[in-house]
Amino acid sequence: MKFLVVFVLVFFSYNHLYSQDNQIDKDNKINVIVIGAHPDDPDSKVGGTAIKLSKLGHNVLFVSLTNGDAGHQSMGGGVLAKRRREEAFEAGKRFGVTYKVLENHDGELLPTLELRKDIIRLIRQWNADIVIGHRPYDYHPDHRNTAIAIQDAAYMVIVPNVVSDTPPLKKNPIFLYTQDRFQKPYPFKPDIAIDISDVIDQKIDAMSAHQSQYFEWLPWIASIVPPTDKEERIQWLKKFRELPITPSIRKSLIKWYGEEKGEKIIYAESFEICEYGRQPTDEEIRGMFPMLK
């Protein structure tokens, strides 16, 4: 009798979880998780796309795998981690997304089994349709190791006996890489390009919440002194962190928006489809990114 009661409770528990997933599907909500190494990484590469999805009523989660406690020239440790966490949460409010910061140390991230399990849980808990992260070719070891850990989680998110404390996804998400400038072993391939010209000011305002990074740490590394006036800082940051529209990205914009509009787009974010996730058709991509319609 006890066994029967336990079985029924487990059955209804799982059924409740999956009915929640079905509710999300029925409501046509797209669930996107953006995983970066540091608290400002998701913002600069996916911020505009996140704003557009959020405004359409979809669900976006930004995740930083480290707490950013090494990313500054004059402060560090727990004090910096606290500051960067607060900056991330403020940026999340401005973007209209949920922001989560994990407690791994900045500069020490490794693609361990435990980190893979954490990523699998996060992707499953968010019931992700789209997972976005770094490519594994990058100057920063945290970025490279984040990419490896995400790739290792791809496919495993649908395997029931892996991380069995969290119910598996019913289908593998689309995994995407963010734009970068690195050429070896091969350059970034912009399979998807999103026009963010109409939300660029909101994106930059949200990014500016990361004061410690965009107006202190990164300028210090580059031996640049940013302006002190608030409005001048916003315009400076727009140029400082602008994502270049390369010829291949322009070609992708024309594909998705047509030649007349694609040629005129000023600001864009682009993504490469990872081979380890679901391979979407163009029709599926337009469904996942409704702003392309």
SS (H, E, C) 238-283: HHHCCCCCCHHHHHHHHHHHCHHHHCCCCCEEEEEECCCCCCCCHH
Residue 24 pLDDT greater than 80, yes or no: no
Q: What is the pLDDT of residue 63?
A: 98
- Round to whole Å and give the CA distance between 291 and 287: 9
Class of domain 28-292: alpha beta
**Closest to 169 (Cα-Cα) out of 123, 132, 130, 131:** 123
Q: What is the pLDDT of residue 113?
A: 98
Residue 31 phi, psi (nearest 5): -110, 115
Residue 176 phi, psi (nearest 5): -125, 145
Q: What integer best gives the mean pLDDT of the chain?
A: 92
Please, are residues 61 and 90 in contact by the beta-carbon 8 Å criterion? no
Q: How confident is the model at residue 19 (pLDDT cuts 50, 70, 90)?
A: very low
The three-class DSSP label of residue 199 is helix
**Closest to 293 (Cα-Cα) out of 53, 54, 132:** 53
Residue 22 pLDDT greater than 60, yes or no: no
Q: What is the pLDDT of residue 293?
A: 75
Q: What is the pLDDT of residues 51-107, one digit of tens each?
A: 999 999 999 999 999 999 999 999 999 999 999 999 999 999 999 999 999 999 999
Over residues 171-177, the mean pLDDT reads 97
Specify burial of residue 102 (Cβ count, 10 A radius: 0-12, 13-18, 19+): middle
**Spatial CB neighbours of 290, under 8 Å, sequence gap ≥ 6:** 30, 53, 56, 58
| Strand 192-195, strand 174-178: pairing | unpaired
Edge-to-edge strands, sheet with 59-66: 98-104, 59-66, 31-36, 130-133, 174-178, 268-273, 192-195
| Strand 192-195, strand 268-273: pairing | antiparallel
pTM exceeds 0.85, yes or no: yes
Structure tokens at 74: 């004059």
Q: What is the pLDDT of residue 94?
A: 98
Give domain limits for the chain: 28-292
User: Which of the 8 DSSP states describes residue 28?
Assistant: T
Diameter over CA atoms, the chain: 73
- Round to whole Å and give the CA distance between 20 and 134: 30
Residue 5 pLDDT greater than 60, yes or no: no
Work out the number of other CB atoms within 10 angstroms of the CB of residue 87.
23
Q: What is the pLDDT of residue 73?
A: 96
Buried b (16+ CB within 10 A) or exposed e, 160-195: eeebeebbbbeebbbbbbbbbeeeeeeebebbbbbb
